[in-house]
């Protein structure tokens, strides 16, 4: 069969199946993300049906999905709100680094993977998935909640930390000098600073350039700007997701509101492919040998993320339900963790078992994170209700 014809048929099957999974998620009152991930697992290598004809499209579509997720997340906030949030939550960012890097590093050292393996696993367990969290917050209608700016501030701090971590990791894996690693870090931080200052001072100019009364023209300019900024950011050793997020906060006022309405269908389409691709790249046969370690690591780092979000929200005077929601929202890991594992294994500096452990761990966290975010509030209400009951 012609490759293009095969790809069209397989894409049709995937989108049709995703539609049913999304409908099922809506009926049971949860985010569709876990079902999308499991659907990808079923269609990937080692799954029930291997759909190899969609790999090329799925890869680029998933990249666009993450960019749109973070762009629309940025549209919800202004540059001033972001800077204020970072000033208020930088201590939470430091606590996040300590609590969530140590478990991964410890597991690597216990398994005998050495200092390089420890550095790799520390990054894998540290960074929450901005893509998954953005999708879940939107699905659950929590973008306007009091604790959401705290969650976003921690996510942005993590992305900034990744802007420093990834060049260092790349330098270590490639055997580049310490000075070369510091130079890459300096470039990353300089780019972020320049873009953030530009968003603060010239955000209205960006909005005027992109705005258009014609819906089609507006959509094309928005999408083009998002991809361009993300690509330039990636070329400058900064996360493409960070670039898209910063563009989003630079767009303000009525332009931001119109952009949200225009981009929402595209975001849902491409974001679904991001989650499917993650499942497609996971071979279920690699999971059993490392499942025990992955489950233990997942439990520990879920608790440390909850502790981070709880503490950060508490410092902002947010009540117990909001603290619990903030902590649960941060549990999911995703894109950064997979990128880190891929870089490490491709370099040959760590054993291949690390990739299996990282993939299994991230899959567990990517599925359990949205579930925890959905059910933490009813659980807290149940616990508080029991505390209020008179003793018998």
State the pLDDT at residue 302.
96
Range of weakest confidence among 23-37, 115-129, 141-155, 305-319: 23-37
117 dihedral zone (left: phi>0; alpha: psi -120 to 50; beta):
alpha
Long-range contacts, 378-381 (Cβ 8 Å, 24+) = 379/324, 380/320, 380/321, 380/324, 381/321
Residue ranges in 111-177 assigned as alpha helix (H): 114-126, 130-139, 148-174
Residue 15 has pLDDT above 60, yes or no: yes
Handedness of CA 179, 185, 190, 193 (dihedral sign): negative
More confident residue, 300 or 212: 300
Residues 51-63 pLDDT 10s: 767 777 888 888 8
State the pLDDT at residue 385.
67
More confident residue, 58 or 107: 107
* Average pLDDT of span 223-241: 80
Q: How far is Cα 68 from Cα 241, in angstroms, rounded to an integer?
A: 9
| Joined tokens for residue 83 | 């800077």
Catalogue all structural domains in the chain, each as residue range(s) with its CATH number.
3-380 (1.20.1530.20)
DSSP structure string for 70-105 = HHHHHHTS-HHHHHHHHHHHHHHHHHHHHHHHHHHH
* Average pLDDT of span 121-149: 86
| Among 16, 19, 15, 48, CA closest to 32 | 19
State the pLDDT at residue 179.
65
State the pLDDT at residue 239.
65
| Among 58, 101, 146, 129, CA closest to 334 | 129
| Joined tokens for residue 353 | 């078992």
State the pLDDT at residue 17.
87
Most confident of 142-146, 189-193, 274-278: 142-146
Residue 240 has pLDDT above 80, yes or no: no
State the pLDDT at residue 307.
95
Cβ neighbours for 151, distance < 8 A, ≥ 6 positions apart: 133, 137, 309, 326, 329, 330
State the pLDDT at residue 388.
45
Residue % of the chain over a pLDDT of 90:
20
Residue 392 has pLDDT above 60, yes or no: no
Confidence band, pLDDT 50/70/90 cuts, at residue 85: low
Task: Supply φ then ψ for residue 23, to 5 degrees.
Answer: -65, -40
Q: How far is Cα 18 from Cα 25, in angstroms, rounded to an integer?
A: 10
């Amino acid at each position: 069969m012609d490759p293009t014809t095969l790809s069209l048929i397989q894409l049709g099957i995937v989108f049709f199946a995703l539609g049913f999974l999304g409908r099922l998620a809506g009926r049971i009152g949860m985010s569709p993300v876990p079902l999308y991930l499991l659907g990808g697992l079923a269609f990937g290598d080692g799954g029930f049906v291997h759909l190899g004809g969609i790999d090329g499209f799925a890869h680029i579509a998933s990249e666009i999905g993450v960019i749109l997720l973070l762009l629309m997340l940025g549209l919800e906030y202004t540059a001033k709100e972001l800077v204020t949030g970072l000033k208020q939550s930088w201590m939470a960012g430091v606590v996040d680094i300590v609590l969530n890097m140590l478990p991964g590093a410890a597991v690597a050292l216990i398994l005998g993977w050495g200092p390089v393996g420890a550095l790799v696993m520390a990054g894998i367990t540290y960074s929450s998935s901005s893509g998954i969290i953005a999708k879940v917050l939107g699905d659950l209608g929590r973008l306007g909640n009091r604790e959401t700016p705290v969650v976003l501030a921690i996510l942005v701090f993590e992305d900034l930390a990744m802007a420093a971590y990834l060049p260092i990791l790349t330098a270590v894996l490639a055997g580049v000098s310490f000075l070369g690693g510091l130079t890459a870090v300096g470039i990353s931080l300089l780019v972020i600073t320049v873009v953030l200052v530009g968003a603060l001072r010239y955000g209205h100019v960006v909005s005027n350039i992109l705005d258009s009364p014609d819906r089609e023209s507006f959509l094309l300019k928005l999408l083009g700007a998002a991809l361009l900024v993300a690509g330039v950011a990636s070329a400058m050793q900064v996360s493409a997701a960070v670039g898209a997020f910063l563009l989003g906060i630079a767009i303000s006022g009525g332009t931001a509101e119109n952009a949200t309405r225009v981009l929402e269908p595209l975001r849902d389409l491409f974001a679904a492919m991001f989650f499917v691709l993650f499942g497609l790249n996971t071979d279920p046969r690699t999971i059993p040998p490392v499942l025990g370690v992955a489950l233990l690591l997942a439990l520990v780092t879920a608790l440390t993320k909850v502790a981070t979000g709880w503490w950060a929200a508490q410092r902002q005077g947010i009540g117990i339900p909001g603290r619990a929601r903030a902590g649960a929202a941060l549990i999911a890991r995703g894109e950064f963790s997979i990128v880190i594992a891929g870089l490490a294994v491709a370099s040959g500096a760590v054993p291949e078992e690390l990739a299996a452990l990282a993939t299994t761990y991230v899959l567990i966290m990517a599925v359990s994170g949205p579930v925890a975010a959905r059910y933490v509030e009813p659980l807290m209400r149940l616990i508080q209700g029991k505390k209020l009951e008179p003793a018998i």
